[in-house]
Amino acid sequence: MSKILLLGSGELGKEFVIAAQRIGQTVIAVDSYENAPAMQVAHGFEVINMLDGKALDKIVAKHQPDFIVPEIEAIRTERFYDYEKQGITVVPSAKAANFTMNRKAIRDLAAKELGLRTANYRYATTAEELEQAVVEVGIPCVVKPLMSSSGKGQSTVRTEADIAKAWSYAVEGSRGDVVEVIVEAFVNFHSEITLLTVTQNNHPTLFCAPIGHRQERGDYQESWQPANVFEEDLIEAQEMAKKVTEALGGAGLFGVEFFLTDDGVYFSELSPRPHDTGMVTLAGTQNFNEFELHLRAVLSLPIAEITLEKVGASAVILASENSNTPTYYGMADIAALPKTDFRIFGKPSSRPYRRMGVALTHDVLGTPIEHVVEKAKEAATLLTVNS
């Protein structure tokens, strides 16, 4: 059996560990704080600052893993190339992890090297540069830190008065030690999707049914599968996803995000790991959920097919206050609902808008997806988090 070093131990990592445990793999979970969700189900854990290259080297040497699986952005990813030289498999690859931990590398790869359709964009490292970038891409536009997660630091500039606030918010929400933002022209999209893309060693690239999602504050609130996508748009998105994942290399599950517009499909972002919107697959929408797919690809276990079994939806359960002792109310209420499930992530503390759990609903294929989404949203309101 293999030993996996999981770098980042949030709710996505927790589900990955559970999948690994089910087929006998050993996982050491790493994060910057104790009792992170994935640590609660792993064989062991380490608490370090993953932006400290020496600390990272130390635990890699200590555990001698077969695989290093990143789950977050704030990691000293340039060290991954050396780990690959040591014979350790970095998931999906050192290049993929290094490029996608920073929006600059992945956006330039997609737009400049691969020629994928993206929003017009610029970079800025100071408030003054941001002002100039906004002039060049035009208003409205979106400002994001180059390194962040769950929408932190992301905002929309609608007037010149918003520029200074956007810079401060981006710097505050940035992860890691990179103080730089990307400024994107606003894309007039009618919907956005995540296309979970599975690359395999010696087997074909596979795609899950597209996942639709709605965001607030840059973070997803609901997701549903399958999303309603025109066949020609889906084919274009699959071609773009295959192109960019092949350029990054390695085996694993990628969450590739697209905007769907009247002018076609726009590449947005890419994560080289299970995606938060993909938690809808925990509702049993597929023969394998996204975490099982990631694990099987990592271990080079062949995946014969990915089949859509049900329609499903997820809705996030958010905290409303700061607490070091979050308590959950309404479990019996949500548990009593038919075709409904939920997950509590086990985060040791809460803060306003922190994602603490997810409600999951499903129904038979052919059920209008809007009905399933509404059920998930209603279910999420039944489970509350208080101190």
Based on the number of CB atoms within 10 Å of its own CB, is 305 exposed (0-12), middle (13-18) or buried (19 or more)?
A: exposed
- Beta-carbon contacts of residue 338 (< 8 Å; ≥ 6 apart): none
Q: Which of 270, 274, 313 is nearest to 290 (CA)?
A: 274
Range list of H helices, 39-125: 53-63, 80-85, 94-100, 103-108
pLDDT band at 103 (very low <50, low <70, confident <90, very high): confident
pLDDT digit string, tens, across residues 32-47: 999 999 999 999 999 9
Q: Which of 252, 143, 276, 127 is nearest to 200 (CA)?
A: 252
Unique residue bearing structure tokens 């060290």: 79
Class of the CATH-defined domain 3-90: alpha beta
3-state secondary structure at position 166: helix
Per CATH, the number for 191-386 is: 3.30.470.20
Exposure string (b/e) for 258-279, b if CB count within 10 Å is 16 or more?
Answer: bbbbeeebbbbbbbbbbbbbbb
Query: Is the per-residue pLDDT at 149 higher than 70?
Result: no
What would the mean pLDDT of 173-199 be, rounded to a whole number? 89
Cβ count near 194 (within 10 Å): 30
What per-residue confidence (pLDDT) applies to 148?
66
Residue 129 near residue 182 (C-beta atoms within 8 A): no
What per-residue confidence (pLDDT) applies to 278?
98
Question: Which sequence spans correspond to the domains of the chain?
Answer: 3-90, 120-185, 191-386
Separation CA 112–CA 120 (nearest Å): 11
Average the pLDDT over each of 100-104, 108-112, 318-322 and give the range with the smallest value: 100-104
The torsion region of residue 377 among left (phi > 0), alpha (psi -120 to 50) and beta comes to: alpha
Query: Is the per-residue pLDDT at 260 higher than 70?
Result: yes
Which residues participate in catalysis according to the annotation? 149, 151, 257, 269, 276-277, 355
Q: Which of 122, 101, 119 is nearest to 110 (CA)?
A: 119
What would the mean pLDDT of 137-159 be, rounded to a whole number? 86
pLDDT digit string, tens, across residues 113-123: 999 999 999 99
pLDDT band at 281 (very low <50, low <70, confident <90, very high): very high
Alpha-carbon distances, residue 204 vs 89, 302, 386 (angstroms): 20, 9, 46
What would the mean pLDDT of 186-193 be, rounded to a whole number? 93
pLDDT band at 176 (very low <50, low <70, confident <90, very high): low
Separation CA 289–CA 212 (nearest Å): 16
What would the mean pLDDT of 88-113 be, rounded to a whole number? 91
What would the mean pLDDT of 46-72 be, rounded to a whole number? 97
Query: Is the per-residue pLDDT at 172 higher than 80?
Result: yes
Separation CA 14–CA 346 (nearest Å): 10
Q: Which CATH architecture has domain 120-185?
A: 2-Layer Sandwich (3.30)
Range list of H helices, the chain: 11-22, 53-63, 80-85, 94-100, 103-108, 127-137, 162-173, 231-248, 290-298, 331-335, 369-382
pLDDT band at 386 (very low <50, low <70, confident <90, very high): confident
Query: Is the per-residue pLDDT at 375 higher than 80?
Result: yes
Separation CA 365–CA 356 (nearest Å): 29
